[in-house]
Amino acid sequence: MGTTTIAIIDDHKIVRQGLRELLHRMGNYEVTHEFEDGEEFLNTLPLSSPPQLYVLDYSMPNKNGLEVLALLEKLPDEYKVLLLTQHFDENIINEAYRLGARGFLNKNCTAQELKYAVDTIVAQGYSNISEILRRIKNHQPTVEEVRSTVVLSDRELEFLTLVCDEKEYTYDKMSQIMGISVKTIETYRSSLFERFGIKTKVGLVLFSYKNRLTKPFL
């Protein structure tokens, strides 16, 4: 395997140094960029040689981790972000996933937990996928959360609803329910992947969650 490149955004120099040294000791990881707060990071974008993963602290001056995530969501490039925080807060975690975070870790985590999170986000797109799905399916949107203006056809919405169903249907089963071929199901999937920059089935669920498109997120 090649070297995994990482950027660290944290307002404490000693934390950045500790993370950098820990990652270097754990394997083929290279910290290529460091930023002392969210505003410095955002002002530097786009990076000429973007890393594969961004380790982002939640609690920072100028712009906190959630504010950074909200602004990254508006940019065309992909940013795989692992959010770190000292405090386990359900609201922060749920909001972070809604804004596109690929994983979450408490700063009291072990080296192995950090390694697992980094490796799975880089390889699969997300860390702790079952945990993310559990959280977003249990989340009740607030009145401030407005449904997106994303436009899908009726059949695309039907397909996406089945993808988000707790029964976790296979594509074969979806084709039976919708009365169409598996090839047509794959066409719907490929179309959504291409139009919205989605790469996995989990990504489809998160897409529906963030945009309030289907049950159980309406």
Provide the domain limits for residue 206.
Answer: 154-211
What global pTM score does this model have? 0.73
pLDDT tens for each residue of 73-120: 888 888 999 999 887 777 888 888 878 889 999 988 999 999 999 999
- Of 43, 104, 54, the C-alpha closest to 78 is 54
pLDDT for the residue numbered 151: 85
Average pLDDT over residues 158-178: 90
Is the pLDDT confidence value at 145 over 60? no
Is the domain of 48 the same as that of 87? yes
> Per the structure, how many domains does the chain have?
2
The domain spanning residue 206 has which CATH number?
1.10.10.10
Degrees (nearest 5) of the Cα angle 122, 126, 132?
A: 165
The domain spanning residue 48 has which CATH number?
3.40.50.2300
Crossing angle between the packed helical segments 129-138 and 201-211, to the nearest 10 degrees:
30
Local structure of residue 59 (DSSP, 8 states): S
Is the domain of 102 the same as that of 160? no
pLDDT band at 141 (very low <50, low <70, confident <90, very high): low
Assigned domain for 218 exists: no
